[in-house]
Amino acid sequence: TTRYMRVPPLAVGLGIYLPTASTLMIVVGAIVGWVFERSADRTPKPEATKQLGVLLASGLIVGESIIGVVISAIVVFSGVGAPLALVGPGFETAGRMMGGLAFAVITAVLYRWILQMARRNEVR
């Protein structure tokens, strides 16, 4: 009876370990990936379309990692906890909302761009 109630241990571990702001982006990424896979399956060359999506996702992950290292280096070498802060801590909630909105807009733009590239490749 509990055969269908199993939860992957890695998912539970990440949910416990990571803050909500991080795990929310993982869920959003999974949903966007699922939608992209379904739309890629409807193209004449689904594997090529999926490959473009994987390349884009890999680039976003690498870019985010590089920016994280750069920001960490700035924090370490400056000796200040938030050397790039332009506003005070009272802006945190609005900043998170604006960041989430920017993430959604950029994701939508890149999603459309990848689909357009895939459609152009179908013609060739």
Q: What is the pLDDT of residues 33-48, one digit of tens each?
A: 888 888 888 888 888 8
pLDDT at 54: 85
Q: Where are the domains of the chain?
A: 19-123
| 56-84 per-residue burial string, b: 16 or more CB within 10 A, e: under 16 | bbeeeeeeeeeeeeeeeeeeeeeeeeeee
Give tens-digit pLDDT for 45-104. Answer: 888 888 888 888 888 888 888 999 999 999 999 988 888 888 888 888 898 899 889 988
Structure tokens at 89: 């801590």
pTM, full prediction: 0.57
Mean pLDDT computed over 27-35 = 82
Q: Are 97 and 27 in contact (CB under 8 A)?
A: no
- CB atoms closer than 10 angstroms to residue 112: 10
1 SS3 class: coil
Answer whether residue 1 shows pLDDT above 90.
Answer: no
